[in-house]
Structure 1
Amino acid sequence: MPDFHLIGCDFTSRPTRRKPIVLALGSLSGGRIVLSKLERLDSLDAFGLWLCQPHAWIGAFDFPFGLPRALVEQLGWPTQWDACMRHYASLSREAIRATFAAFCDARPAGAKFAHRKTDGPAGSSPSMKWVNPPVAFMLHAGVPRLLGAGAHLPGLHEGDVARVALEGYPGLLAREVLGRRSYKSDTAAKQTPDRLIARKDLITALEHGQTRLGLRLKLTHAQRDALADDASGDSLDATLCLLQAAWAQVRHEQGAPRYGLPVDLDPLEGWIVSA
């Protein structure tokens, strides 16, 4: 077994060298998550190739795995997950934007977007959102590459059970510790001392196991500095997803079905792990 049996992924739908996909790789040892390394991938092709390497893993990926049922049904798209994802992958981003904008325009103020059931407990953005953040495009870019790697998506898609992909969301754990304090920004002018302090507070809480997951993060001094110094928050977000993947592994080892996801999850919408 490799030393990075667990993966946390901070994802972007348009990766570049300046804004790459970040993977936090690690393992679980005696109730502590050991961060092995951070890896950066500057293209979607590199991400797809990385997933196809001959490793066994459980990963939490920070992008939606499904669309709201209300949206899919109103658009007349397939309501079986595999067929829906094939249809979605066949569309251009421009077509997705136009379709979702028209859907929103036809709905009343205050209820423009359709939501998944997981959005409430997770506090997540609707997976049909195409701006700030463009999670609809993240789904469009990410899910086909998981499928291309033969991954198993519990409750949604039967695949290789040696590669288990779960939908992660770092904001779920970050808010538990920090409340509404901001800890990151991609804009240099907003990378303030207050946000640095928030990142350090969050890292300390993770090291002490002060989240609902009850798991402690083990870091070297250099790793702690690297997580704090990444003002974009991408390295820290990948690490938060790593903790969610570890929680799923623990739940699986305890005999929980679907790696701790609800047994009654909507098989079209999916669910955010640990929500």
Structure 2
Amino acid sequence: MATGESRARSIGQQATGRTVLKTHPGSKTAVLVALAALVTGCGGSASDTAPTKPSAGHRAGSGSGSDGSSAGTVGFDTVFKTEERFQQALPDPASMAGWTPRNASALIEDDPEPAARCAPSRDWECAKIAHGEANFEAFGEEADFDITAFVDKAGAGEACRKEATWSAKYTKAPGAAVSDVESHAYYRNVGGENGLYVTMCLGTVVAEVTLAGPNSSLDPDTAHSLARQFVPRIQKAAAAS
């Protein structure tokens, strides 16, 4: 992983306006800034929000947002290096009906690792310049959305190749590929818990959707449905001025 300075910004408590300084092992000082837009939606507290039964036509685990239409192009040159860009790209409570938002954050690397220093290993994120994530839960199933950003399309492409090589040892998951996006899905066990991972390569980022949790059915259709909602959000964020 990169060992340079980074700014970690939690997209969970913006209304508090608090700023906390923390020191992370192997890195310089990181600034943790609380933000509320993704986790609380319209100002409510995520911890007080119980999972609700999805509306008709949507079952728990599929999401029900209106971001299914395509926007922008897969091969965008936009560099994701601000927390605002991640906030636009990551799913929000409105697009995840039936799920409880848990946390969201953006980590901006002030001193990213040069690609030349990154070995051809499983550490495909080595040269990342930023990372963002948003996590949701419903009835014991967890849905996690991640974006790892790179300085350009070449950097993202190299990370995609490394990630694909590394994940090839795991069991491939069935299901339709995400249209017009280089992607693959696989099953993996982490910390004793099984998960279904969908990895997508588009523009300057590598995006991932993960299903896990004690009650998760690890349904490929659900994972790909969430991935297909995620892609246009990333495209729209890339196209935003």
Range into which the TM-score falls when normalised by the shorter chain: under 0.3
TM-score by length of 1: 0.22
**Could you say which structure has the larger radius of gyration?**
1
Q: Taking CA–CA contacts closer than 8 Å with sequence separation of 6 or more, which of the two structures ends up with the larger relative contact order?
A: 1
TM-score (norm 2): 0.24
Higher helix fraction (1 or 2): 1
